[in-house]
Amino acid sequence: MKSFALDSNNDILVQNGTFTLVEGAAETVQSVRSRLLMYMGEWFLDTTAGTPYFQEIFIKPANLANIESIFKQRILETDGVTKLNSFFMDYDGGNSRNLSVSFEAETKYGTINLNEVTINV
């Protein structure tokens, strides 16, 4: 299957006036990244789709075990992902309040690495 390629801002990538497509492992990486960054309730056609940031992640005090579980589940439920090999989550609870997720997973296309998805809490 093919999808429109997205740039680093999650906008559809257009090169030389043509939409760029992505498939295979690159499509799976893009899909995982999009799933992790999509807020629950963001898409008006399905308000249950997305990551429950306001419902379960942006709460005080942060429950890091629950947050890690949510992200792992979102990754594993992504089409094409068959196994999560490694997972690393880094939360900076200071002034920046950034949350970064990195992982390696097995897919139907082989092993993929997502170096970092950063969420500004």
Which among 22, 35, 23, 4 has a CA at the least distance from the CA of 108? 23
In this predicted structure, the answer to whether residue 121 has a pLDDT above a threshold of 70 is no
The domain locations on the chain are: 2-120
Look at domain 2-120 and name its CATH class. alpha beta
The model carries a pTM of 0.86
> Most confidently modeled of 50-64, 70-84, 92-106?
70-84
| pLDDT of res. 59 | 84
What's the longest Cα–Cα distance across the chain?
48
Q: Is the peptide bond before 61 cis (omega within 30 degrees of 0)?
A: yes
